[in-house]
Structure formats: structure tokens, C-alpha cells
Amino acid sequence: MKILTIVLLVLAGALVLGLVWLWTPDKPRADLEASYLRSPGDLVDVAGMRLHVRDNGPRDAPVVILLHGFGSSLHTFEPWALALGERYRVVRFDMPGTGLSAIDPQGDYTDGRSLVVLEALMDRLGIAKATLGGNSMGGRIAWMFAAAHPERVDKLILISPDGFASPGLEYGKRPEVPAMVMLMRYVLPKPFLQMNLAPAYADPSKLTEETVTRYHDLMLAPGSRDAMIARMGQLEPQDPAPFLRRITAPTLLLWGEKDAMIPVSNAADYERLLPDARVVVLPNLGHVPHEEDPATALAPVEAFLSGE
């Protein structure tokens, strides 16, 4: 019995030491802004919180709003924004509690709240109507907004959009957040994050150290991890069919052929339900084609925007 007690104490001590060694504190907001904020003017008061927004291109040009995926930030679309900014007004923002945007004071990270924030941002920037583009979670927000506010959406660009229930999820039921995800609040080593980001790329060698560092740094913004956990716990998947059937905007579905997170086969479900949709499959690209190969992924987008 004494030997067993000693063994358990040693194991408990090792676990505590391991957690202390792996403990990942938040980074000071001032340090993050020094690295990732282009201008103080990019912090904009919207819907009762301060959002990180980038607004590029001619103010009188057609507007394109790009929405990032879960755990990402507006930086994911930087190459696209630079290229499109010559002909379009390109707006990007960090969702509340992600990137450099403040946490939601209401603690509300539901899709419904995201739609309110997006509409409020458009009003704040004087944008009556825009093309919405979104990746993964951002794609889901984009098509939900287009269904709720068809008069404010010109076109839709959905990049591997989330929406259809994956294994383990049920429509109308909030998922249980895994304990390992909850632990992320205290322990988030960069190598572990890199392991989780790599499957988003068809070729993991294209996931650069700079990109991993950016993701890691911004996840360590004060309140960011709590917001991510809350967003996961507050997700209540809805059957996309009734929403998609209401969408009138012409839609481009852009999908990496080797997407390991949301399979390209889902494109057929969207195409079947959307009244006006076209599908472009990108060979040898994964879940974030705009990051993995920005130029290749942008070509069909530019053609779609120009009406080709």
C-alpha cells in the first residue's frame, strides 16, 4: 500500500510539474497590437465592443467583406485583400474575442450575435450592400446573413463553408466541449497548435513558422481562449436547407479537393439547395486554400466578381 501511495504521489507530482512547464499565459495586448495592428484607427467601436477592422481599396468601389474561420483572424485574407484592393473596397474584421477584437461584453458568441455584429459593422462603415466571402465558420455566417438579409448581399463566396452537421453533432443541440479543449485555456504549446493547424493544408510544408506564430500569438490575446471555448459551447447547428433555399445571391463555392476538415463532397449539398450556385474545386489544396496558395485560389474569385 505504501508503494502504491508513493507511485501515485510521484505521478501526481509529475503531472503538476508537466502542467507548470506547459502553462501558457496570455500575452499583453499592447505587445500583440505592436506586432499585428496596422493602425490605431483599425480599432472600431461596433455593437458595444471594439473590433479590429481593415478597410482597403477605393471607397466608391464595389464592396467585398471577408470573414475568417474559427480560431483565425483577418490576417488570413491578407494576400487576397492586397490583390482585390486595386478594384474593390475590401473589408475584413476579427470576430469578437478573436485576433485583436475585444471580447463580447455580453459573452454571446452565438451565430445570431455574429449576424448582428456584421450588420452593425456594415452600418458603421456606410455599406448598404456587399459581396460576402467566408471560410469555414465565416462561410456559415456569410450564408446565414445572406438568408436573413438578402437585400444587403450582392454575391456570396463560400470557401469550404461550415453548416451541415458532422459526425457527433445534431441540429438544434449544443455540443459538449471536450475536456481537452477546455484545458487549452491554460495549456497551449505552439508545437501542439501546429499539429492541429497542419491538417488544414493539403501540403503541410506550406504552413510557415510565421503563420503558426501569428495564430498562436493571437490565440493568447487576453480573453481569446475563453471566447473560443464559449463559441464552441454556444454553437447550436441549424439545418442549412431552409436558409440556403432563401438565398437569392449568386454563389461561388470554392473547395480544396484535399480538404481534410470539411469534405469536398459537401459542395454537392450546397449546390443542390442554393438557387444560383457554381462549384470550383481546387486540386491539391486543403481547407484554407486562400492561405495555402492565395493566387491559385483567388483566380476563380476574380472571375466570379467580374461576372465571367
H or E, element range at 156: strand 153-159
The contacts of residue 53 (CB under 8 Å, 6+ apart) are 42, 43, 44, 46, 74, 91, 92, 93, 94, 121, 125
Predicted local distance difference test score (pLDDT) of residue 6? 45
Q: Which of 212, 210, 201 is nearest to 261 (CA)?
A: 201
Identify whether 278 is part of a domain. Answer: yes
Block mean pLDDT (10 aa), the chain, length 308: 43 46 88 97 97 96 98 97 97 98 96 98 98 98 98 98 81 81 90 95 96 98 96 92 96 97 95 96 98 98 93
H or E, element range at 93: strand 89-93
Predicted local distance difference test score (pLDDT) of residue 9? 41
The contacts of residue 189 (CB under 8 Å, 6+ apart) are 22, 24
Predicted local distance difference test score (pLDDT) of residue 20? 52
Identify whether 32 is part of a domain. Answer: no
Identify whether 157 is part of a domain. Answer: yes
Predicted local distance difference test score (pLDDT) of residue 176? 83
* Domain of 125, in residue numbers: 37-305
Predicted local distance difference test score (pLDDT) of residue 171? 80
Predicted local distance difference test score (pLDDT) of residue 172? 77
Overall number of domains in the chain: 1
Predicted local distance difference test score (pLDDT) of residue 1? 41
Predicted local distance difference test score (pLDDT) of residue 269? 94
Predicted local distance difference test score (pLDDT) of residue 7? 39
Q: Give SS3 for 303.
A: helix
- What are the tens digits of pLDDT across the range 89-99? 999 999 999 99
Identify whether 56 is part of a domain. Answer: yes
- The pTM score is 0.91
CATH number, domain of 215, equals 3.40.50.1820
Do residues 76 and 96 touch, judged by C-beta distance below 8 A? no
The C-alpha atoms of residue 20 and residue 235 are separated, in whole angstroms, by 31
Predicted local distance difference test score (pLDDT) of residue 300? 98
The grid coordinates listed for 182 are 477546455
Identify whether 273 is part of a domain. Answer: yes
Predicted local distance difference test score (pLDDT) of residue 14? 44
What are the helix (H) ranges across the chain?
2-22, 29-36, 78-84, 111-124, 137-148, 179-183, 190-197, 209-219, 224-234, 240-246, 266-273, 289-292, 294-305
Identify whether 142 is part of a domain. Answer: yes
Predicted local distance difference test score (pLDDT) of residue 113? 97
The C-alpha atoms of residue 75 and residue 56 are separated, in whole angstroms, by 13
